Every structure is written in structure tokens, then in C-alpha cells.
Amino acid sequence: MTAARLLAAAQLVNSLGDGAYYVTSALYFTLVIGLPPTQVGLGLTLGWAAGAVAGVGAGHLADRYGPRRVAVLLALGTAVALGGFVFARSFPAFLALACAYACGQSGLAAARQALLAGLVEPARRTRVRAHLQAATNAGLAIGAAAGGIALQVGTAVAYQVVFAADAAGFVVAAVVLSRAPEAVVVREGPRRAVLRDRPYVVLALLNTIMMLNMPLLSLIIPLWMVERTDAPSWLVSALLLVNTVSVVLFQVRVARRVSGLRGAARAACGAGVLMMLACAVYAASTSFWVVLLVAAGVQVAGEMLLAAGAWEISFTLAPDGKQGQYQGFFASGVAIARMAGPVLLTTLILGGGVTGWLVLGALFLLTGLAFTPVTRWAAGDRFTEWSSGPRPDTARVPSIGP
């Protein structure tokens, strides 16, 4: 089995358990562990804050000791954290496990990205990453259906089976990853080189802002539907289905059309336009709830464009030997969006109504447009080909000190 297929298999196994975890975890933490919703929210926020920091450190370890080795260890560590939730019965225990889980997930994402970069030639990385994303969404959809069965049963044992199955999935993923070849390890260079790479830091910040779209379908839209529209409750599942199936069917096709830094920046710009349009359509749903389906379709189109552009940018601009810490830093936007997105967006959208949607849409548009000049800046800083991406014999890492 090729390295790309091994990575896809590991991703699929993980996402099966994660899909079930995502639909059951909130109720498990409140009904079985017995925590009030405020403590659950606080614990998850602190956990993802730790995860955002841990991603860069785990990426550096991947650069120093090998991304496959680090990925296997982090997959096993995440499995331990998930298994620990079965026995947690207090807030301190929950908080410790939430931090361990988020750190494991964020670090594992960084190590996997570094492993992909080390095993797949540059011209194929974005396309392979798209295949991994399609596999992830397929697994999440199947896992969410399995989690729905646990919700229907509604017993503590049913919830605990979900957590145990997710933990087992990470163990299996660790076994699958252990069969992949190890990438080349470079044991030189500063630990936080990425933080001194200003263009890359700005690009990661732009990506983080765009990642605020993540909580929309899972949290903001369901609350918006209840408070501001007459939409039926089944529409929540329909919107999630539109998103998941679209990524499975079309993410690879979208990624094929993104090549080089210029194309990646153009894709991110297009994503900003589409997300702005999606926000405008969501705002109109107060009068016609059926347009929520249209908005979800426009949103997922923007998400796929953003993903393809961001992957191309993050891989192309990361220097050899530092893919781990660079990918960990770039991917920290996901953890930050999970941490801050719910509070920011509930305040903006549910508090501001239509105006809030328009403000969010303008933010997405301006951020998407900013990708082009910042990516050009980053390309020039590296003597990188703006039109076609870096060439191994000409690309240069910006001066970052000892």
C-alpha cells in the first residue's frame, strides 16, 4: 500500500470514531459525567487553547524525531485521553482529559501533515491532502450516523461505547501509520523558526479568520433557525449532509484546479467571495427559510476552495526540514476557531441578527482578498516562483536567525 493510501486509511479510521464522538460528546459530558454546560464550555475552550499551542511544539518534534514516530505516539496518546473520559466524574478530570485530547488532535494533525509533505512529492501534496479530506468527511458522516444510534439508546453505556470505539480507532490508526515509511529527519534549526517568518505568520492569521466558518453549521445555524426562522428541525441534518457529501464528492476535483501560489491565492480570494455570499443568504433566511439550503451549498463551495488554496500555500512556503512546525502553526487556526468561534459568532450573529451576518460576510471577503498580496510577499521573500510554486534548486528560506 502506498504512503498516500496508508495516510487515507488512518484518516478514515479516525474520522469514523470522531463522527460519533462529535454528536454525542456534549450530552455525555452533561448527562453522564454530570457537568453543567458552562463547565463543559470552559473545559473545551481551555482544551483547544492548549491544543493551539501544542500543535507547533508537536510539529517541531516531528521535524526532529520523525513525523511518523511522533504521529504514532500522539495517536496512542489521544486514544488514552478518549478512554479516560469513560472514567471521568469531576471537572478537574474532565479538564485534564480535554486538554490532553485537544493537544493530541492538534499535534497529530501537524505530524500527519509533515509526514505527507515528507512522503509525497510537492506537485501532488494538495491533491493527496484533498483525498484525505474526502476520506475524513466520509468517515465523519458514517460515524455521526452511528452516534445517532447511541443518542437514540440514550444510556450511559451507549455513550461510553462511542468513546471506547473512538479510542480504538486511534489505536488502529497508530498501527496503520506505523506501516508508513519514515520521512527524512533534519535535526538542525531553531525550535520556533516559523514565528520569525513574518509572511507565513500573517498567512496563518488570515487562514485562522477564515476558519471561523467552522462553527456555523454545527452551532450557529441551528441556534439561528430556532430563534429567527420557521425552519423545521430536520433541516439541521440536511444542511450537515449537504456539507459532508459535497466535500466527499467534489473536494478532490476542486483541489486539482489549484496549482502554484498564484492559483492558491486566487482560490482563497474566491473562498472569501463565496463565504460573503453565503452570509448574505443566511441573513435572508428570516423571511424564506428554504434559502438555508442554498446558503449551505455556497458555504461548502467556499470551504473547499479555501482548503485547496490553504493546503497549497502552507506546503509550498514551508521550508524542507521544518514542515512539522510550519504545518502545526498553520493548522493552529482550527484549534483557535474551535476555541473562540462559538463565543464570537454567537455574540455577532445571534446578537446582531442580519447586521451581524453582513459584518461576518465582509470580514470573510476582506480576508480572502488579502491572501493575494500577502502570498506574493511570502513568495518574493523566498525567491519562490509566484506563478508555479517553489523549485527545489531556487527556493530559499527567509533569514530567521540562529
Domains and CATH numbers, the chain: 1-182 (1.20.1250.20), 196-391 (1.20.1250.20)
**Average of pLDDT values for 320-337?**
91
Residue 292's pLDDT band, with cuts at 50, 70 and 90, is very high
Return the pLDDT at 237: 82
Return the pLDDT at 191: 66
Spell out the residues 6+ positions from residue 203 whose beta carbon is closer than 8 angstroms to its own: 313, 314, 317, 330, 371, 374, 375, 378
Percentage of residues in the chain having pLDDT higher than 70: 93
Dihedral (C-alpha) 290, 292, 297, 303: value to the nearest 10 degrees? Answer: 180
- Burial of 336-357, coded b for 16+ CB within 10 Å and e otherwise, reads bbbbbbbeebbebbeeeebebb
Return the pLDDT at 399: 35
Residue 385's pLDDT band, with cuts at 50, 70 and 90, is low
SS3 316: helix
Return the pLDDT at 159: 94
Per-residue pLDDT reduced to its tens digit, 18-38: 999 998 998 899 999 999 988
Q: Which of 228-232, 300-304, 389-393 has the lowest mean pLDDT?
A: 389-393
Q: Which of 21-30, 145-154, 205-214, 376-385 has the lowest mean pLDDT?
A: 376-385
3-class SS string, 261-308: HHHHHHHHHHHHHHHHHHHHHHHHCCCCCCHHHHHHHHHHHHHHHHHH
